[in-house]
Structures are given as C-alpha cells and as structure tokens.
C-alpha cells in the first residue's frame, strides 16, 4: 500500500481478508506489532512524549511554585478540546482551586493544550504510519513515518478539533444544567440522568470515530472527509470496536499495574520524584499502544468494508 497517495495494492501486502479479526484478535495483533517494535515506539513516541510530559510538569511547577500541586494539576490538563473541557468541568465541580488560581490555570492549560495538539499530531501520525507499514507490509521506516506525519499534522489537528467539538457539544448540556440548576434532590437526580445520557452519547461517538487519525494518515483525506470516512467504516461495527478497546484497556491496565508496582518499590522514599518516575517510564512503554491498536483496527475495518463492497457487486 502506498501511503503517500492513498489506498492501493502493494505486492508485499497480504490479502485484505488476512486483516479481518475478532475483538480479541485486534488486541493480540496490536500487542504483536507493539512487542516486536517496542524500542522503535519508545524512541518514536515514548521518549518525546515523556520529555513533553516533563516540560509540562516543570511549567506548572514554575507557575504554581509547588511540585505536588504541579503533579496534581497535570491530571486535569487536556491535550485536546474535549479533555480540556472535561478537566475544567471536573475542577469546577470539586472546587479545588480558588478563582484567581483557576484563571491562571485555564490560561496555562489552554496554551499547553495547543502545543500538545501540535506535538501529539506528529507523534500519533508517525506511530500509526509506522504500525500500518509494519503490520500491512512487514516493513516500516521511522524517517518516512515522521515525514508523512509532519506533512499531515495540520489535517490531523483539524480532524481532532472536529471530533473534540462534537464531543464538547454533546457534553455542553450537562455543564449548563450543572451551572443553572437549583441545589435540590430532584435537580441532582436529573443531573445524574443527564450525565449518564451524555456519557453514552460521547462513548458512542468516540467509538464510531475511533479510526479517524488512521484515515487521515492512510487515505490522505481532508479533516471532515476523514471523520465521515471513520464513521462509515465503523458502521455496524460498534460492539466489535468497543469490545476490542475494552479488552485492550484491561490488558494495558494489568501491564501498567505490574510495571508500576515494580517501579514504586524501587523509587519508594524519593518524594515527588518517586511519584513522577513511574508515570514517565510507564508512558515510555505503553503510550504508543492505543495508536498501534488504531492502525490494526483500521486495517480490520478497511478489509471488512472491502468485503462488503465485493459482496454487493
């Protein structure tokens, strides 16, 4: 498949039917691609992502003057419009920061979100490109992957903004209700129902748009067309995609816990440094896995879509 010009046929690429797998097959093949390229992914995504995490931490430390506060606030900083929105919503709910500090945090978080979107567009795109080449053709090149990702980073960012905007629109009613509703038991009950419905809608949209970044990288469509294509690919495949993501999440969580417990034992007593190191090292190892999964998922969905088209003929 020639990635630079969109979908095509490569003599080295296996038949499309070979990429059609079950939900557990998506996970096993993801771990296979990740495992045999783990050093590449650590360099390609992990190290750069870890460096950026450290930079964000020190920026917060310098602004708020306390490493503990910086580490806590990092959990509420979004890397895209939706997670930015949710982070602020959560902080408002728990009342963790006074108004003046909250205003500063919003400004800093917004700036770092923009930088994050640029950085992660390249990292995500390069990881997906490399994974698709390795999985689909059995050969991949880091330099080419980074080059393609940089060339399509603008489209990736726009696609991410579209997806984030859709999620934010779905989430907005819950926020407005929280801000405007009276503090009564009836209002709280209604709010919980609104939150539940919002969660279901956001989950559905996130599953249907899961392969968006892979579509941008492989098919070189515009941001809006990539979102539409992702929605089309996942048509009738919601539970297949959702099941794969659930299984992957469980597996990665188990691996992360094992590694985290081991590292905490080694870094116990080091204070905030001991709390930060396991996060950085876990990021080095596991941060690329969701994007490897997206590459495997795209190949699966594309093959299913091709089979359906052939059956119609």
Q: What is the pLDDT of residues 59-71, one digit of tens each?
A: 888 887 777 777 7
What is the pLDDT averaged over residues 70-98?
A: 76
In this structure, is residue 263 part of a structural domain? yes
**Residue 80 and residue 47: Cα distance in Å, rounded?**
20
- Band (9; pLDDT cuts 50, 70, 90): very low
Please say if the pLDDT value at position 15 is more than 90: no
Low-confidence winner among 167-176, 238-247, 265-274 (lowest mean pLDDT)? 265-274
In this structure, is residue 6 part of a structural domain? no
What is the pLDDT averaged over residues 105-111?
A: 85
49 burial (CB, 10 Å; 0-12 / 13-18 / 19+) is: buried
In this structure, is residue 269 part of a structural domain? yes
* Spatial contact of 272 and 71, defined as CB atoms under 8 Å apart: yes
Backbone angles phi, psi at 292, to 5 degrees: -65, -40
Residue 32 or residue 63, greater confidence: 32
- Band (123; pLDDT cuts 50, 70, 90): very high
- Band (24; pLDDT cuts 50, 70, 90): very high
In whole angstroms, how far apart are CA 235 and each of 55, 107, 201, 251, 312?
Answer: 40, 39, 16, 26, 16
| Placement of tokens 């996060």 in the chain | 279
pLDDT one-digit tens code per residue, 205-222: 999 999 999 999 999 899
In whole angstroms, how far apart are CA 125 and each of 16, 111, 121, 129, 238?
Answer: 22, 22, 6, 6, 23
What's the predicted TM-score (pTM) here?
0.81
In whole angstroms, how far apart are CA 217 and each of 45, 81, 120, 131?
Answer: 16, 21, 14, 11
Low-confidence winner among 7-11, 47-51, 238-242, 287-291 (lowest mean pLDDT)? 7-11
In this structure, is residue 219 part of a structural domain? yes
In this structure, is residue 12 part of a structural domain? no
Domain with 237, as residue range(s), is 17-303
C-alpha radius of gyration, the chain, whole number: 21
Both structure tokens of 268: 């116990």
- Band (139; pLDDT cuts 50, 70, 90): confident
In this structure, is residue 5 part of a structural domain? no
Exposure pattern of 10-33 as b/e (b: 16+ CB <10 Å)?
A: eeebeebeebbbebeebbebbbeb
Domains identified in the chain, total number: 1
In this structure, is residue 155 part of a structural domain? yes
Q: What is the largest CA-CA distance in the chain?
A: 66
User: Which are the contacts of 183, defined by CB distance < 8 A and separation ≥ 6?
Assistant: none
Residue 117: per-residue pLDDT: 87
176 burial (CB, 10 Å; 0-12 / 13-18 / 19+) is: exposed
Residue 83 or residue 204, greater confidence: 204
pLDDT one-digit tens code per residue, 192-206: 888 888 889 999 999
In this structure, is residue 121 part of a structural domain? yes
């Amino acid at each position: 498949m020639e990635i630079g010009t969109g979908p095509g046929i490569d003599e080295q690429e296996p038949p499309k039917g070979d990429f059609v797998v079950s939900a557990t097959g998506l996970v096993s093949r993801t771990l296979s691609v990740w495992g045999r390229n783990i050093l590449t992914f650590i360099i390609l995504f992990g190290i750069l992502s870890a460096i950026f995490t450290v930079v964000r931490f020190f920026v917060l430390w310098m602004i708020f003057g306390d490493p503990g506060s910086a580490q806590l606030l990092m959990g509420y900083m979004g890397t895209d419009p939706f997670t930015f929105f949710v982070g602020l919503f959560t902080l408002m709910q728990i009342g963790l920061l006074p108004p003046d500090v909250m205003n500063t945090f919003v400004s800093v978080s917004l700036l770092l979100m923009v930088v994050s979107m640029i950085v992660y567009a390249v990292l995500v795109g390069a990881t997906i490109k490399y994974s698709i080449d390795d999985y689909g053709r059995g050969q991949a090149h880091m330099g080419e992957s980074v080059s393609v990702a940089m060339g399509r980073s603008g489209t990736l960012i726009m696609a991410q903004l579209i997806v984030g905007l859709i999620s934010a629109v779905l989430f907005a009613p819950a926020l407005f209700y929280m801000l405007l509703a009276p503090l009564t038991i009836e209002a709280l009950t209604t709010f919980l129902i609104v939150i539940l419905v919002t969660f279901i809608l956001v989950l559905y949209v996130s599953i249907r748009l899961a392969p968006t970044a892979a579509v941008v990288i492989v098919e070189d469509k515009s941001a809006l067309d990539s979102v539409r294509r992702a929605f089309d690919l996942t048509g009738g495949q919601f539970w297949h995609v959702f099941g794969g993501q659930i299984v992957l999440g469980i597996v990665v969580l188990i691996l992360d816990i094992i590694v985290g417990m081991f590292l905490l034992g080694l870094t116990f007593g080091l204070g905030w440094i001991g709390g930060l190191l396991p996060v950085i090292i876990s990021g080095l190892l596991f941060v690329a896995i969701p994007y490897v999964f997206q590459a495997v998922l795209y190949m699966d969905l594309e093959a299913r879509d091709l089979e359906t088209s052939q059956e119609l003929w």
